[in-house]
């Protein structure tokens, strides 16, 4: 990854300040018996890196904490409140704007971050700072076409074939496939409408069946997400009058 803040000097950051900036939003959260707590951070960072490469955009360091209160029933989850998360994103957005980047793209890898990301985008929009929130665009269609197992439902991909395959593509050394189990929770009718611990729904922490996961499927999922994201970025830049030079190679 050429334009990554984790490798760049301040002079290089200055030279790249006319480009779009991408912030991966992760979490420190349980992901079943076979995956590490860092899954959402690793996946958001990997997808954001591929997108940054395709766009010639600058990749910012991933946020390794997110709003994950629903997973606090399992050890290993550390959550920010939604308000804290929104403020952290907004502070980074203001910095990105001050440096000169024409817009901030949020690449979210964790369901609990959707609301705080939207809140931060609203705060920044009120200050004239353009923000695009990407939430693995196209994932539902891609998962249906690429994965063998049934999704757990409710637009919820957690420690399943989707996330496990993407982890096998990006960080196979931390995946313990021999510990993978399938679990299909019964979602109550009020799922998502009230605070709820996911442990009430899934003892293992898995939502779906990770066992048919492969790195090949993971690569296809990532490529498909990046292709869909490029369309969203193009529409976003057009709507905000951001010149092609800021995001095309």
Sites of contact with Zn ion (CB under 5 A): 39-40
Nearer to Zn ion, 39 or 47 (CB): 39
Which of 44, 41, 40, 21 minimizes the C-alpha distance to 124?
21
Write down the least CB distance from residue 58 to Zn ion, Å: 25
Contact indicator for 159, 29 with CB cutoff of 8 Å: no
CB of 29 to Zn ion, least distance (A): 7
**What is the distance in angstroms between the CA of the first residue and the CA of the last residue of the chain?**
14
Longest dimension (CA), the chain: 54
C-beta closer to Zn ion: residue 122 or 203: 203
Upper half-sphere CA count for residue 82 (Cβ side, 13 Å): 12
We find the least distance from the C-beta atom of residue 108 to Zn ion, in angstroms, to be 11
Euclidean distance between CA atoms 69 and 81, whole angstroms: 8
Return the number of the residue (154 or 245) whose C-beta is nearest Zn ion: 154
Helix/strand number for the chain, H first, E second: 7, 4
29 vs 129, which CB is nearer to Zn ion? 29
- Closer to Zn ion by CB, 39 or 60: give it: 39
Place of tokens 């939003």: 25
Smallest gap from residue 38 Cβ to Zn ion (A): 10
Q: How far apart are CB 174 and Zn ion at their closest, in Å?
A: 14
Question: Nearest residue to Zn ion, using CB?
Answer: 40
| Collapsed DSSP state (helix, strand, coil) of residue 241 | coil
């Amino acid at each position: 990854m050429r334009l990554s803040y984790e490798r760049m000097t301040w002079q290089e950051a200055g030279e790249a300040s006319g480009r779009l900036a991408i912030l991966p939003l992760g979490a420190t959260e349980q992901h079943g018996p076979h995956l590490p707590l860092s899954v959402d951070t690793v996946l958001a960072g990997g997808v954001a890196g591929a997108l940054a490469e395709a766009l010639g955009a600058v990749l910012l360091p991933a946020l390794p904490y997110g709003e994950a209160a629903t997973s606090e029933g399992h050890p290993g989850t550390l959550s920010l409140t939604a308000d804290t998360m929104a403020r952290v994103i907004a502070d980074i957005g203001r910095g990105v704007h001050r440096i000169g980047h024409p817009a901030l793209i949020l690449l979210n890898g964790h369901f609990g971050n959707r609301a705080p990301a939207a809140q931060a985008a609203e705060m920044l929009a009120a200050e004239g700072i353009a923000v695009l929130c990407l939430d693995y665009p196209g994932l539902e269609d891609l998962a249906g076409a690429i994965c063998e197992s049934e999704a757990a439902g409710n637009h919820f991909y957690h420690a399943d074939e989707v996330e496990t395959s993407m982890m096998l593509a990006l960080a196979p050394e931390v995946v313990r496939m021999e510990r993978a189990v399938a679990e299909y929770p019964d979602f109550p009718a009020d799922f998502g409408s009230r605070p709820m611990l996911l442990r009430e729904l899934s003892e293992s922490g898995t939502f779906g069946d990770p066992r048919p996961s492969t790195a090949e499927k993971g690569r296809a999922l990532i490529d498909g997400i990046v292709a869909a994201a490029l369309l969203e970025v193009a529409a976003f830049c057009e709507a905000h009058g951001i010149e092609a030079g800021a995001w095309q190679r």
